[in-house]
Amino acid sequence: MPMNVIVMPGDGIGPEVTREGVRVLTAAAEICGFDVALRHFDIGEAAFQESGDFISEEALRACDEGQAAGDTSILFGAVPSEPIGLLRERYDLYANLRPVRSYPGLSAVSPLKQEVIEGTDLLVVRELTSDVYYGRQRQGHGSGGEWASQEMYYDEHQARRIAAVAFEQARRRRKRLTFAHKTNAIGPVFSVWWKVLEPLREQYGDVEFDDFYVDNMAAQLCLRPADFDVILAPNLFGDILSDLAGGLVGSLGLLPSASLNDRGFGLYEPVSGTAPTIAGKNIANPVGSILSVAMMCEHAFGRVDARELIESAVLATIPGRATADISGPGPAVTTAELGKAVADRMREIAAGGK
Protein backbone atom coordinates (compact mmCIF):
# COMPACT_ATOMS: atom_id res chain seq x y z
CA MET A 1 0.00 0.00 0.00
CA PRO A 2 1.48 3.39 -0.94
CA MET A 3 1.84 6.26 1.50
CA ASN A 4 -0.38 9.04 0.14
CA VAL A 5 0.94 12.57 0.30
CA ILE A 6 -1.12 15.63 -0.57
CA VAL A 7 1.32 18.31 -1.70
CA MET A 8 0.25 21.92 -1.24
CA PRO A 9 3.15 24.21 -2.21
CA GLY A 10 1.27 27.51 -1.81
CA ASP A 11 2.77 30.95 -2.34
CA GLY A 12 6.10 32.80 -2.20
CA ILE A 13 8.99 30.40 -1.55
CA GLY A 14 6.50 27.59 -0.86
CA PRO A 15 6.76 25.99 -4.34
CA GLU A 16 10.57 26.25 -4.44
CA VAL A 17 11.22 24.64 -1.06
CA THR A 18 8.41 22.08 -1.39
CA ARG A 19 9.88 20.88 -4.70
CA GLU A 20 13.03 19.93 -2.79
CA GLY A 21 11.01 18.29 -0.02
CA VAL A 22 9.32 16.15 -2.68
CA ARG A 23 12.66 15.35 -4.31
CA VAL A 24 14.00 14.07 -0.99
CA LEU A 25 10.79 12.18 -0.20
CA THR A 26 10.98 10.42 -3.56
CA ALA A 27 14.63 9.53 -2.94
CA ALA A 28 13.83 8.23 0.56
CA ALA A 29 11.03 6.03 -0.80
CA GLU A 30 13.28 4.62 -3.50
CA ILE A 31 16.23 3.97 -1.17
CA CYS A 32 14.26 2.67 1.82
CA GLY A 33 11.83 0.64 -0.28
CA PHE A 34 8.38 2.10 0.22
CA ASP A 35 5.83 3.52 -2.21
CA VAL A 36 4.65 7.11 -2.14
CA ALA A 37 1.67 8.41 -4.14
CA LEU A 38 1.69 12.19 -4.55
CA ARG A 39 -1.25 14.46 -5.37
CA HIS A 40 -0.62 18.16 -5.93
CA PHE A 41 -3.12 20.92 -5.17
CA ASP A 42 -2.80 24.65 -5.70
CA ILE A 43 -3.62 26.66 -2.61
CA GLY A 44 -3.31 30.33 -1.79
CA GLU A 45 -3.02 32.87 -4.59
CA ALA A 46 -3.03 30.37 -7.47
CA ALA A 47 -6.18 28.67 -6.15
CA PHE A 48 -7.83 32.03 -5.62
CA GLN A 49 -7.16 33.09 -9.22
CA GLU A 50 -8.61 29.80 -10.42
CA SER A 51 -11.65 29.39 -8.21
CA GLY A 52 -12.13 32.43 -6.01
CA ASP A 53 -11.20 30.35 -2.94
CA PHE A 54 -7.77 30.10 -1.30
CA ILE A 55 -8.28 26.37 -1.04
CA SER A 56 -10.52 24.41 -3.39
CA GLU A 57 -13.36 22.08 -2.45
CA GLU A 58 -11.51 19.33 -4.30
CA ALA A 59 -8.40 19.80 -2.14
CA LEU A 60 -10.45 19.76 1.05
CA ARG A 61 -12.27 16.63 -0.09
CA ALA A 62 -8.93 14.90 -0.71
CA CYS A 63 -7.81 15.83 2.82
CA ASP A 64 -11.14 14.69 4.34
CA GLU A 65 -10.88 11.34 2.56
CA GLY A 66 -7.20 10.97 3.39
CA GLN A 67 -7.83 11.58 7.07
CA ALA A 68 -10.72 9.11 7.10
CA ALA A 69 -8.64 6.45 5.35
CA GLY A 70 -5.75 6.98 7.79
CA ASP A 71 -3.13 6.63 5.04
CA THR A 72 -2.51 10.23 4.00
CA SER A 73 -0.37 13.20 5.06
CA ILE A 74 -0.07 16.77 3.85
CA LEU A 75 3.22 18.32 2.75
CA PHE A 76 2.64 22.05 2.93
CA GLY A 77 4.73 24.98 1.71
CA ALA A 78 3.52 28.40 2.83
CA VAL A 79 0.67 30.86 2.35
CA PRO A 80 0.03 34.40 3.57
CA SER A 81 -2.39 33.11 6.24
CA GLU A 82 -5.99 32.02 5.62
CA PRO A 83 -5.78 28.43 4.28
CA ILE A 84 -3.25 27.25 6.82
CA GLY A 85 -5.41 28.42 9.73
CA LEU A 86 -8.38 26.69 8.15
CA LEU A 87 -6.55 23.37 7.70
CA ARG A 88 -5.27 23.41 11.28
CA GLU A 89 -8.77 24.04 12.59
CA ARG A 90 -10.64 21.71 10.23
CA TYR A 91 -8.44 18.71 11.08
CA ASP A 92 -7.86 19.63 14.74
CA LEU A 93 -4.09 19.67 14.21
CA TYR A 94 -3.48 20.87 17.73
CA ALA A 95 -0.03 19.37 18.37
CA ASN A 96 2.65 21.37 16.63
CA LEU A 97 6.16 19.94 17.00
CA ARG A 98 9.01 22.25 16.07
CA PRO A 99 12.48 20.80 16.57
CA VAL A 100 15.41 23.22 16.63
CA ARG A 101 19.00 22.07 16.33
CA SER A 102 22.33 23.78 15.99
CA TYR A 103 24.11 21.79 13.31
CA PRO A 104 27.76 20.90 13.72
CA GLY A 105 29.63 22.99 11.17
CA LEU A 106 26.93 25.66 11.16
CA SER A 107 27.48 27.23 14.56
CA ALA A 108 29.32 30.10 12.82
CA VAL A 109 26.06 31.29 11.20
CA SER A 110 24.42 31.71 14.60
CA PRO A 111 24.47 35.25 15.98
CA LEU A 112 25.45 33.69 19.33
CA LYS A 113 28.96 32.77 20.46
CA GLN A 114 29.87 29.28 19.31
CA GLU A 115 30.16 27.94 22.89
CA VAL A 116 26.63 29.21 23.66
CA ILE A 117 24.80 27.80 20.63
CA GLU A 118 26.73 24.53 20.32
CA GLY A 119 24.75 21.49 21.44
CA THR A 120 21.37 23.20 21.11
CA ASP A 121 18.76 20.51 20.47
CA LEU A 122 15.30 21.47 21.62
CA LEU A 123 11.69 20.88 20.69
CA VAL A 124 9.00 23.55 20.88
CA VAL A 125 5.62 21.90 21.48
CA ARG A 126 3.15 24.58 20.44
CA GLU A 127 -0.62 24.36 20.88
CA LEU A 128 -2.01 25.14 17.42
CA THR A 129 -5.79 25.37 17.37
CA SER A 130 -6.75 27.78 20.13
CA ASP A 131 -5.47 30.97 21.84
CA VAL A 132 -6.01 34.45 20.39
CA TYR A 133 -5.60 33.13 16.85
CA TYR A 134 -8.98 31.43 17.10
CA GLY A 135 -10.49 33.56 19.86
CA ARG A 136 -13.78 35.41 19.76
CA GLN A 137 -13.44 38.67 17.84
CA ARG A 138 -15.38 41.80 18.65
CA GLN A 139 -15.20 45.37 17.52
CA GLY A 140 -17.02 48.60 18.08
CA HIS A 141 -16.73 52.29 18.57
CA GLY A 142 -16.35 54.01 21.93
CA SER A 143 -14.95 57.08 23.64
CA GLY A 144 -11.43 56.10 22.54
CA GLY A 145 -12.56 55.73 18.95
CA GLU A 146 -12.71 52.40 17.21
CA TRP A 147 -11.89 49.36 19.33
CA ALA A 148 -11.34 45.68 18.65
CA SER A 149 -10.62 42.62 20.77
CA GLN A 150 -9.64 39.01 20.12
CA GLU A 151 -9.90 36.65 23.03
CA MET A 152 -7.21 34.37 24.45
CA TYR A 153 -9.20 31.22 25.14
CA TYR A 154 -8.13 27.87 26.59
CA ASP A 155 -10.17 25.15 28.20
CA GLU A 156 -8.86 22.24 30.27
CA HIS A 157 -9.21 19.75 27.44
CA GLN A 158 -7.14 21.87 25.05
CA ALA A 159 -4.41 22.52 27.61
CA ARG A 160 -4.32 18.93 28.88
CA ARG A 161 -3.94 17.25 25.52
CA ILE A 162 -1.05 19.44 24.35
CA ALA A 163 0.65 19.25 27.76
CA ALA A 164 0.39 15.44 27.59
CA VAL A 165 2.05 15.50 24.15
CA ALA A 166 4.86 17.64 25.59
CA PHE A 167 5.43 15.30 28.57
CA GLU A 168 5.48 12.29 26.22
CA GLN A 169 8.01 13.97 23.95
CA ALA A 170 10.17 14.89 26.94
CA ARG A 171 10.06 11.29 28.16
CA ARG A 172 11.39 10.15 24.77
CA ARG A 173 14.10 12.81 24.74
CA ARG A 174 16.21 14.15 27.62
CA LYS A 175 13.32 14.17 30.10
CA ARG A 176 13.18 17.91 30.70
CA LEU A 177 10.11 20.04 30.12
CA THR A 178 9.84 23.83 30.41
CA PHE A 179 6.50 25.61 30.29
CA ALA A 180 6.39 29.15 28.83
CA HIS A 181 3.46 31.16 30.19
CA LYS A 182 2.42 34.57 31.46
CA THR A 183 0.55 33.73 34.64
CA ASN A 184 1.51 37.08 36.19
CA ALA A 185 -0.46 39.03 33.60
CA ILE A 186 -3.02 36.59 32.16
CA GLY A 187 -3.94 34.79 35.39
CA PRO A 188 -7.33 33.25 34.56
CA VAL A 189 -6.17 31.58 31.35
CA PHE A 190 -3.03 30.15 32.93
CA SER A 191 -4.86 28.90 36.00
CA VAL A 192 -6.57 26.52 33.56
CA TRP A 193 -3.15 25.36 32.34
CA TRP A 194 -1.77 24.92 35.89
CA LYS A 195 -4.85 22.92 36.89
CA VAL A 196 -4.11 20.30 34.23
CA LEU A 197 -0.33 20.47 34.56
CA GLU A 198 -0.20 19.51 38.26
CA PRO A 199 -1.57 15.96 37.82
CA LEU A 200 0.52 15.46 34.69
CA ARG A 201 3.66 16.39 36.62
CA GLU A 202 2.84 13.62 39.09
CA GLN A 203 2.05 11.16 36.33
CA TYR A 204 5.34 11.96 34.58
CA GLY A 205 7.48 11.97 37.70
CA ASP A 206 10.52 10.97 35.62
CA VAL A 207 10.34 14.25 33.66
CA GLU A 208 12.04 17.25 35.25
CA PHE A 209 9.65 20.19 34.98
CA ASP A 210 10.25 23.91 35.25
CA ASP A 211 8.61 27.06 33.94
CA PHE A 212 9.34 30.65 32.96
CA TYR A 213 7.29 33.70 32.18
CA VAL A 214 7.48 33.89 28.40
CA ASP A 215 9.41 37.17 28.35
CA ASN A 216 12.14 35.67 30.51
CA MET A 217 11.90 32.45 28.48
CA ALA A 218 12.92 34.45 25.40
CA ALA A 219 15.93 35.84 27.27
CA GLN A 220 16.94 32.43 28.64
CA LEU A 221 16.76 30.97 25.13
CA CYS A 222 19.25 33.57 23.94
CA LEU A 223 21.52 33.14 26.94
CA ARG A 224 21.61 29.33 27.24
CA PRO A 225 19.69 27.60 24.42
CA ALA A 226 21.53 24.31 24.88
CA ASP A 227 20.04 23.88 28.38
CA PHE A 228 16.50 23.35 27.07
CA ASP A 229 14.93 20.11 25.94
CA VAL A 230 11.15 20.39 25.39
CA ILE A 231 9.40 23.77 25.62
CA LEU A 232 5.61 23.72 26.00
CA ALA A 233 3.79 26.88 24.91
CA PRO A 234 0.33 28.11 23.98
CA ASN A 235 -0.21 29.04 20.34
CA LEU A 236 0.94 32.68 20.30
CA PHE A 237 3.98 32.23 22.56
CA GLY A 238 5.02 29.07 20.69
CA ASP A 239 4.82 30.91 17.38
CA ILE A 240 7.13 33.65 18.62
CA LEU A 241 9.54 31.43 20.57
CA SER A 242 10.05 29.07 17.64
CA ASP A 243 10.94 31.91 15.26
CA LEU A 244 13.28 33.26 17.92
CA ALA A 245 14.91 29.83 18.12
CA GLY A 246 15.24 29.81 14.32
CA GLY A 247 17.11 33.09 14.54
CA LEU A 248 19.40 31.65 17.20
CA VAL A 249 20.51 28.76 15.00
CA GLY A 250 21.11 31.11 12.07
CA SER A 251 18.05 30.89 9.81
CA LEU A 252 14.32 30.37 9.97
CA GLY A 253 14.72 28.39 6.78
CA LEU A 254 16.29 25.50 8.71
CA LEU A 255 13.28 24.66 10.85
CA PRO A 256 10.74 21.91 10.10
CA SER A 257 7.44 21.17 11.80
CA ALA A 258 4.72 18.57 12.17
CA SER A 259 1.13 19.46 13.09
CA LEU A 260 -0.73 16.39 14.31
CA ASN A 261 -4.18 15.42 15.51
CA ASP A 262 -5.31 12.47 17.63
CA ARG A 263 -6.32 10.45 14.56
CA GLY A 264 -2.78 10.15 13.27
CA PHE A 265 -3.36 12.73 10.55
CA GLY A 266 -0.60 15.27 10.06
CA LEU A 267 0.46 18.33 8.11
CA TYR A 268 4.19 18.82 7.64
CA GLU A 269 5.62 22.23 6.77
CA PRO A 270 8.58 24.52 7.28
CA VAL A 271 8.22 26.86 10.27
CA SER A 272 8.79 29.89 8.08
CA GLY A 273 6.34 31.68 5.80
CA THR A 274 6.27 32.80 2.18
CA ALA A 275 9.40 35.00 2.52
CA PRO A 276 8.19 37.29 -0.31
CA THR A 277 11.43 39.25 -0.68
CA ILE A 278 13.42 36.17 -1.69
CA ALA A 279 10.64 34.29 -3.52
CA GLY A 280 11.15 33.19 -7.12
CA LYS A 281 14.93 33.60 -6.96
CA ASN A 282 15.91 29.98 -6.25
CA ILE A 283 17.81 31.10 -3.14
CA ALA A 284 15.49 30.04 -0.28
CA ASN A 285 16.74 27.39 2.09
CA PRO A 286 14.83 24.12 1.49
CA VAL A 287 16.06 22.40 4.67
CA GLY A 288 12.88 23.25 6.61
CA SER A 289 10.81 21.39 4.01
CA ILE A 290 13.31 18.53 3.70
CA LEU A 291 13.37 17.97 7.47
CA SER A 292 9.56 18.21 7.54
CA VAL A 293 9.58 15.25 5.14
CA ALA A 294 11.90 13.46 7.58
CA MET A 295 9.35 14.05 10.35
CA MET A 296 6.60 12.73 8.05
CA CYS A 297 8.59 9.55 7.39
CA GLU A 298 8.77 8.83 11.10
CA HIS A 299 5.37 10.03 12.34
CA ALA A 300 3.17 9.06 9.40
CA PHE A 301 4.97 6.13 7.80
CA GLY A 302 6.71 4.70 10.86
CA ARG A 303 9.97 4.79 8.86
CA VAL A 304 12.62 5.79 11.37
CA ASP A 305 15.25 4.57 8.88
CA ALA A 306 14.11 7.14 6.30
CA ARG A 307 14.03 9.91 8.89
CA GLU A 308 17.56 9.07 10.02
CA LEU A 309 18.83 8.84 6.45
CA ILE A 310 17.44 12.27 5.53
CA GLU A 311 18.79 13.88 8.69
CA SER A 312 22.24 12.35 8.22
CA ALA A 313 22.32 13.55 4.62
CA VAL A 314 21.32 17.09 5.62
CA LEU A 315 23.94 17.13 8.36
CA ALA A 316 26.63 15.94 5.98
CA THR A 317 25.64 18.34 3.19
CA ILE A 318 24.96 21.79 4.62
CA PRO A 319 28.33 22.69 6.08
CA GLY A 320 29.81 22.52 2.54
CA ARG A 321 26.85 23.37 0.33
CA ALA A 322 24.70 26.07 1.86
CA THR A 323 22.09 28.53 0.60
CA ALA A 324 22.76 32.26 1.03
CA ASP A 325 21.06 32.50 4.45
CA ILE A 326 23.57 30.07 6.00
CA SER A 327 26.61 30.25 3.73
CA GLY A 328 28.27 33.09 5.63
CA PRO A 329 31.10 34.64 3.61
CA GLY A 330 31.49 31.45 1.53
CA PRO A 331 29.84 30.76 -1.85
CA ALA A 332 26.13 29.94 -1.80
CA VAL A 333 24.26 27.20 -3.65
CA THR A 334 20.72 27.49 -4.98
CA THR A 335 17.58 25.99 -3.46
CA ALA A 336 17.53 23.26 -6.11
CA GLU A 337 21.25 22.54 -5.81
CA LEU A 338 20.96 22.03 -2.07
CA GLY A 339 17.94 19.73 -2.46
CA LYS A 340 19.74 17.70 -5.10
CA ALA A 341 22.91 17.54 -2.99
CA VAL A 342 20.91 16.14 -0.04
CA ALA A 343 19.23 13.51 -2.26
CA ASP A 344 22.62 12.54 -3.77
CA ARG A 345 24.13 12.27 -0.31
CA MET A 346 21.30 9.99 0.77
CA ARG A 347 22.16 7.64 -2.09
CA GLU A 348 25.85 7.72 -1.16
CA ILE A 349 25.10 6.96 2.47
CA ALA A 350 22.79 4.11 1.45
CA ALA A 351 25.48 2.75 -0.84
CA GLY A 352 27.82 2.62 2.12
CA GLY A 353 29.79 5.82 1.56
CA LYS A 354 29.98 8.67 4.03
Ligand X SMILES: NC(=O)C1=CN([C@@H]2O[C@H](COP(=O)(O)OP(=O)(O)OC[C@H]3O[C@@H](n4cnc5c(N)ncnc54)[C@H](O)[C@@H]3O)[C@@H](O)[C@H]2O)C=CC1
Ligand Y SMILES: CC(C)CC(=O)C(=O)O
Residue numbers annotated as active site:
133, 182, 215, 239, 243
Considering the complex, state which of residue 15 and residue 209 has its C-beta at the smaller distance from ligand X. Answer: 15
Phi-psi map region of 82: left, alpha, beta (phi>0 left; psi -120 to 50 alpha): alpha
Nearest distance from C-beta of residue 338 to ligand X, angstroms: 10
What is the spatial distance between Cα 289 and Cα 9, in angstroms, rounded to a whole number? 10
In the chain, the amino acid numbered 152 is: M
Considering the complex, state which of residue 128 and residue 189 has its C-beta at the smaller distance from ligand Y. Answer: 128
Nearest distance from C-beta of residue 45 to ligand X, angstroms: 11
Alpha helices (H) along 204-260? 214-223, 235-249
Nearest alpha-carbon partner for 286 in 330, 255, 316, 329 = 255
Binding mask 236-265 for Mg ion (x = CB under 5 A): ---x--------------------------
In the chain, the amino acid numbered 249 is: V
Host H or E run for residue 176:
strand 176-181
What is the spatial distance between Cα 251 and Cα 291, in angstroms, rounded to a whole number? 14
C-alpha distance across the termini of the chain, in Å: 31
Binding residues (CB under 6 A) for ligand X: these are 13, 17, 78-81, 84, 251-253, 269, 272-278, 284-285, 288, 325
The distance of Cα 160 from the centroid of its chain, to the nearest Å, equals: 21
Binding residues (CB under 6 A) for ligand Y: these are 81, 84-85, 133, 239, 271
Nearest distance from C-beta of residue 307 to ligand X, angstroms: 20
Residue 251 interacts with, from Mg ion, ligand Y, ligand X, none (CB under 5-8 Å by kind) = ligand X
Interface with Mg ion includes 131 (CB under 5 A)? no
Considering the complex, state which of residue 208 and residue 243 has its C-beta at the smaller distance from Mg ion. Answer: 243
Nearest distance from C-beta of residue 198 to ligand X, angstroms: 33
Considering the complex, state which of residue 311 and residue 325 has its C-beta at the smaller distance from ligand X. Answer: 325
Chain residues binding Mg ion by CB under 5 A are 239
